[in-house]
C-alpha cells in the first residue's frame, strides 16, 4: 500500500495517510451502512417488544369474549330451551360483531347493538307465540314499539354503555401498541443523508487512515455526530412520550365493575338478564303488542296452544379475575416507560455501546482531526438545535417528511386514546400514505387486525444489538506523529480486506 500526504482526501484531514480516494469513499459508504444497520436492529428490538405486548393483550381480551360466549352456550339451552334455539343465531352474530369491533372493524357499536336487540326481539316473540302467524309487517310494528315497551328491561342500555366503554378502551390500547410499532418500523427505514455519511466516516475510520487506529472517538465528539445524524428522529420525542403516557393512563379503564375485563367477560350475564326480563314481562308485553299492532292470526300449522317454555330465571356467577391482565399491564407499563426516551437516547446509546467510544475526553481520544481533547459543546436534541453543530451540516429548514408524517400519526393516535379514556367511540384515522393500513385497524398485525408486526419479546429495556464491524474495544496507545511507521497501513489493509469479505459473504437474516 502506498503512503502519501493526503492531499487527495475529501473527508479525512489531510496529512500522512494510508487511504486512497477510492478507499475513503468505500469506507464512507460502509460506515453509513453500518450505522443504518445498527439503527434498524435497535428498532427491531423495540418493535419486537411492542408486538409481543400487543399479541399478549389481544389474546387475553379475545379469550374473555370467547369464554363469555362459551358460558352462554353451556347455560342457555337448558335454562331457556326453545327461546335459546330461536335466538342462537343472533347471539352468535353478536359475539362475532363484538370481536370484529374490538379488532378495528368499521362498525358503530350503538347501531350494532340496536340491530341485535331488534332481531332478538323478533325471534323470541315468535318463540313465545309459536301458535300465531307473525308476518314481517306485524314484526315491523313490534319493532317500532320496542323502545316504549322495553321488553328486555334495562339490560340493553346497561350493556351498550358498559360494552362501549370497555371495548373502546381495549381496542384503543391495542391499536396504540400497533401504531407505536409501525412508527418505529417506518422511521428505521429512513436513510441517512450524505452529510451524515461524511461525519460518521470521519468519526469511525479517519483515525485508521491517518495511522492511529487505537485512538477511540472522544465522547462529546461522537455525541455531536450522532445528534446531527439523528436530529429528525429526536423530534419524535415529545409526541412519542405523549402516546406512551396516554397508553399507560388508559389501562386505568381495565379495572373495576365497569372495567374492560369485567364487562367483556360478562356479556352473557347481560343477555341472561334480558331474557329473564322478557319472560317476566311476557303477558304484559303480549297484551300491549296486541293493543298496538292488532290481533295476529292463528297459525293453522302451529301447535294448538302456546308451547311450554321454561319460566325460571337464570342466575350465573360472575367470572373472577385470573390475574392475567394484571400481569400483562404491569409488564407493559414497565416496558413503555423504559421506551419513553428511545429516540433521544439513541445517540448516547450508540456511542457508548457500539462506537468503541473513549471512556473519557482527554488528550488520547480521537477528536476528528488528531489525538487530543474535543472542545466544542454538545448540541441539544432535535433538528432546531443542530444549527451550529460543528460536525454535521444540517439544514434545519428541511425536515424529513417521513418522520413528520409519523409525528402526525402519533398525535392522531394520542387523541384517539384521549377520546377512548372518556368513553367516546371514535375511529382512528391512519395518516400513513404507504398503503399499509387504513381506518381503525391500521396498526395491528395481519392475524389480529390487518397489519403485520413480527418478532419475539425482548427484555424490559430496549437494547442495541448490532456491533459495528471494525470498532473493537482496543486500548488507545500513546502515539506521536514522529513515531508513525508503516504498520498502521498494514492494519488498514487488513481492515479493508475484512470489510470486502463481510460484504461478499451471504447473509441470512
Across 196-205, 332-341, 440-449, which has the greatest mean pLDDT? Answer: 332-341
Q: What's the rounded Cα separation, in Å, for the pair 491 and 147?
A: 86
Q: Taking CA 214 as the corner, what is the angle to CA 212 and CA 218, rounded to the nearest 5 degrees?
A: 95
Q: Which residue has the cell 307473525?
A: 134
How many angstroms separate the Cα of 164 from the Cα of each of 95, 173, 247, 412?
Answer: 14, 14, 18, 20
Q: Who's near 455: CB < 8 A, 6+ residues apart? A: 44, 47, 48, 51, 52
Please say if the pLDDT value at position 413 is more than 50.
yes
**What is the number of residues in the chain?**
509
Please name every residue paired with 4 in a beta bridge, in sequence order, or none if there are none.
17
Classify residue 262 as exposed, middle or buried by CB count within 10 Å of its CB (0-12, 13-18, 19+): buried
Residues sharing a CB contact under 8 Å with residue 11, sequence separation 6 or more, in sequence order: 24, 28, 198, 201, 202, 206
By mean pLDDT, which of 44-53, 84-93, 449-458 is the weakest? 449-458
pLDDT value of residue 452 = 32
Query: What is the rounded distance in angstroms from the CA atom of residue 191 to the CA atom of residue 36?
Result: 7
For residues 46 and 233, is the Cβ–Cβ distance under 8 A?
Answer: no
Write out the three cell numbers for 295.
290481533
Taking only the tens place, the pLDDT of each residue in 212-252 is 878 889 999 999 999 999 999 999 999 999 999 999 999 99
- Judged against a pLDDT cut of 80, whether residue 417 lies above it is answered with yes
Residue 13: partners with Cβ closer than 8 Å, 6 or more residues away: 6, 206, 210, 368, 369, 370
User: Between residues 352 and 65, which one has the greater pLDDT?
Assistant: 65
Average pLDDT value over all residues in the chain: 81
The sign of the CA dihedral 414, 418, 423, 427 is negative
Average pLDDT of 197-206?
A: 91
What is the average per-residue pLDDT within 22-28? 86
% residues pLDDT > 70 (the chain): 77
Kindly state the cell numbers that stand for 124: 323470541
How is residue 465 written as a grid cell? 444489538
pLDDT tens digits for range 57-75: 999 999 999 999 999 999 9
- The three grid cell numbers given for residue 201, joined into one nine-digit string: 466516516
Residue 366: strand, helix, or coil: strand
Amino acid at each position: 500500500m502506498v503512503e502519501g500526504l493526503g492531499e487527495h482526501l475529501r473527508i479525512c484531514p489531510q496529512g500522512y495517510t494510508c487511504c486512497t480516494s477510492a478507499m475513503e469513499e468505500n469506507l464512507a459508504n460502509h460506515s453509513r451502512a453500518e450505522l443504518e444497520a445498527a439503527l434498524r436492529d435497535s428498532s427491531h428490538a423495540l418493535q419486537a417488544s411492542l408486538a409481543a405486548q400487543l399479541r399478549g393483550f389481544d389474546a387475553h381480551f379475545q379469550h374473555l369474549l370467547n369464554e363469555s360466549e362459551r358460558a352462554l352456550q353451556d347455560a342457555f339451552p337448558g335454562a331457556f330451551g326453545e327461546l335459546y334455539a330461536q335466538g342462537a343465531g343472533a347471539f352468535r352474530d353478536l359475539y362475532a360483531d363484538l370481536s370484529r369491533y374490538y379488532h378495528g372493524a368499521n362498525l358503530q357499536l350503538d347501531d350494532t347493538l340496536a340491530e341485535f336487540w331488534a332481531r332478538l326481539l323478533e325471534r323470541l316473540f315468535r318463540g313465545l307465540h309459536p301458535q300465531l302467524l307473525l308476518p314481517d309487517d306485524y314484526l315491523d310494528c313490534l319493532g317500532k314499539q320496542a323502545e316504549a315497551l322495553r321488553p328486555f328491561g334495562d339490560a340493553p342500555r346497561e350493556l351498550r354503555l358498559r360494552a362501549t366503554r370497555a371495548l373502546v378502551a381495549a381496542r384503543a390500547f391495542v391499536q396504540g401498541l400497533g401504531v407505536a410499532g409501525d412508527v418505529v418500523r417506518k422511521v428505521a427505514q429512513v436513510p441517512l443523508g450524505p452529510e451524515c455519511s461524511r461525519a460518521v466516516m470521519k468519526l469511525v475510520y479517519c483515525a485508521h487512515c491517518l495511522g492511529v487506529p487505537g485512538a477511540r472517538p472522544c465522547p462529546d465528539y461522537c455525541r455531536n455526530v450522532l445528534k446531527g445524524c439523528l436530529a429528525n428522529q429526536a423530534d419524535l420525542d415529545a409526541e412519542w412520550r405523549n402516546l406512551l403516557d396516554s397508553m399507560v393512563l388508559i389501562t386505568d379503564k381495565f379495572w373495576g365493575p365497569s372495567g374492560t375485563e369485567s364487562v367483556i367477560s360478562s356479556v352473557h350475564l347481560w343477555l341472561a338478564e334480558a331474557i329473564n326480563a322478557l319472560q317476566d314481562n311476557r303477558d304484559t308485553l303480549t297484551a300491549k303488542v296486541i293493543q298496538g299492532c292488532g290481533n295476529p292470526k292463528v297459525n293453522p300449522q302451529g301447535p294448538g296452544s302456546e308451547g311450554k317454555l321454561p319460566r325460571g330465571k337464570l342466575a350465573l356467577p360472575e367470572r373472577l379475575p385470573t390475574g392475567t391482565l394484571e400481569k400483562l399491564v404491569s409488564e407493559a407499563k414497565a416496558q413503555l416507560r423504559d421506551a419513553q426516551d428511545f429516540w433521544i437516547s439513541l445517540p448516547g446509546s450508540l456511542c457508548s455501546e457500539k462506537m468503541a467510544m473513549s471512556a473519557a475526553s482527554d488528550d488520547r481520544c480521537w477528536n476528528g482531526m488528531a489525538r487530543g481533547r474535543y472542545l466544542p459543546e454538545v448540541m441539544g436534541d432535535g433538528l432546531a438545535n443542530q444549527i451550529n453543530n460543528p460536525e454535521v451540516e444540517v439544514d434545519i429548514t428541511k425536515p424529513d417528511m417521513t418522520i413528520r408524517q409519523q409525528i402526525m400519526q402519533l398525535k392522531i393516535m394520542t387523541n384517539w386514546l384521549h377520546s377512548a379514556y372518556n368513553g367516546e367511540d371514535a375511529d382512528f384515522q391512519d395518516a400513513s400514505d404507504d398503503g399499509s393500513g387504513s381506518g381503525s385497524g391500521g396498526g395491528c398485525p395481519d392475524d389480529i387486525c390487518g397489519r403485520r408486526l413480527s418478532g419475539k419479546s425482548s427484555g424490559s429495556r430496549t437494547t442495541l444489538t448490532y456491533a459495528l464491524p471494525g470498532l473493537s474495544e482496543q486500548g488507545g496507545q500513546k502515539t506521536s506523529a514522529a513515531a508513525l511507521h508503516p504498520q498502521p497501513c498494514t492494519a488498514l489493509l487488513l481492515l479493508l480486506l475484512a470489510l470486502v469479505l463481510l460484504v461478499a459473504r451471504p447473509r441470512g437474516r
